[in-house]
Amino acid sequence: MPHKSLQFRPPRWRLVTAFAAVYLIWGSTYLAIRIAIETIPPFLMAGIRFLIAGAILYVWARWRGTPPPRRAHWLAAAIVGGLLLVGGNGGVVWAEQRVPSGLTALLIATVPLWMALLNWLRPGGVKPDNGVIAGLALGFIGIMLLVGPGELAGGHHVDSLGAAVLIVASLSWAAGSLYSRRAQLPASPLLTTGMEMLTGGALLLIAGSLAGEWTRFELSALSVRSSLALTYLIVFGALIGFTAYIWLLRVSTPARASTYAYVNPVVAIFLGWALASEPLTARTLLAAAIIVAAVVVITTQRAQSVKEKEHAQDERRRLTTSRAVSEIVE
């Protein structure tokens, strides 16, 4: 029997619009972050962004009749929000002070690699098949090419500290994503995301306070560019982009929806080069091709494994039903 969410076939133009939103908007957020932190300290900028977006999503979900969350839900949301938004996005906004937006997106695109690796290494983890292992090896080759010595493959050296922070941010995002699958969270994706943004945003503001960012933030120095970039991140990046992604998960397949992971870095690299004069070298292009190929291999292999597992379960249920019918007839 086909999945209930896939029985409804939306108009093609709506699918194209939703995919374009996820591809282009999420790919452009890296450049928007770079512009926003020109006059807004990074942790404060991210905290304000997620507090506002989280409040909107939370109120919207409750207005639509979603039951209120329990205390255990808030605790789980705080853990996920800390891993995703403080460790993950917080690392991104901080690192973009030192690393171009396009290269930032490229390093963050390695999240599926870390998810596959962490899922393997965790207690009771599942060993990936040969295709995923090949994708992991390919991805790490791309990372080494990108962050290795400046003379390697010609051209621009990536800031070592910024690259290290981005790798830790990718690991944090992967850990948060894996934990969220088993965490005690509300059934509503909108309510859950709103809670994660609220708790993560609050933690980011605390991080900004501990880093002394309030003393460096002057409202009079806030530029129009940074204000518009922050507004873009809230409205388009957090609200429209996320809503489009949630809708795609309902009407398409997770494998197709997750293709944003290997389109976003390409969009970010091009926008950084075209609009912010970020360097685009042969080394960057080669590393991008290798990392994107690795992500494609891992995501498609995992999707195929899930499909095969579901098929095997359906076959076992069919055989069990056939035996039961046979016994009744006999």
DSSP string covering 85-124: IIIIIHHHHHHTTTS-HHHHHHHHTTHHHHHHHHHHHSTT
Q: How many Å apart are CA 184 and CA 214, to the nearest integer?
A: 34
- pLDDT of 6 > 50? The answer is no
- Highest mean pLDDT, choosing among 65-79, 156-170, 175-189, 243-257: 65-79
pLDDT in tens, 198-240: 999 999 999 999 999 999 998 888 999 999 999 999 999 999 9
Q: How many Å apart are CA 322 and CA 300, to the nearest integer?
A: 33
Q: How many Å apart are CA 206 and CA 243, to the nearest integer?
A: 27
Band of pLDDT at residue 246, cut at 50, 70 and 90: confident
Domain ranges for the chain? 10-329
- Residue 84, SS3? helix
- Retrieve residue 72's tokens: 């255990």
- Highest mean pLDDT, choosing among 61-65, 149-153, 311-315: 61-65
- Highest mean pLDDT, choosing among 162-166, 275-279, 284-288, 291-295: 162-166
Terminal alpha carbon distance of the chain: 28
Mean pLDDT of 39-49: 97
Q: How many Å apart are CA 111 and CA 240, to the nearest integer?
A: 22
Burial degree of 196 (CB within 10 A; 0-12, 13-18, 19+): buried
Phi and psi at residue 157, in whole multiples of 5°? -90, 135
Single out the residue of 180, 202, 201, 179 nearest to residue 189, CA to CA: 180
pLDDT of residue 141: 87
pLDDT of residue 5: 45
- Residue 54, SS3? helix
pTM score > 0.85 for this model?
no
DSSP string covering 171-228: HHHHHHHHHHHHS---S-HHHHHHHHHHHHHHHHHHHHHHTTHHHH--GGG--HHHHH
Q: Which residue has the higher pLDDT, 210 or 303?
A: 210
Q: Which residue has the higher pLDDT, 109 or 4?
A: 109
pLDDT of residue 134: 86
Residue 141: C-alpha distances to residues 46, 134, 138 (Å): 31, 11, 5
Mean pLDDT of 45-53: 97
pLDDT of residue 315: 44
- Retrieve residue 273's tokens: 């080069």
Mean pLDDT of 239-260: 80
- Retrieve residue 216's tokens: 């460096």
Q: How many Å apart are CA 29 and CA 276, to the nearest integer?
A: 13
Mean pLDDT of 1-8: 48
Band of pLDDT at residue 12, cut at 50, 70 and 90: confident
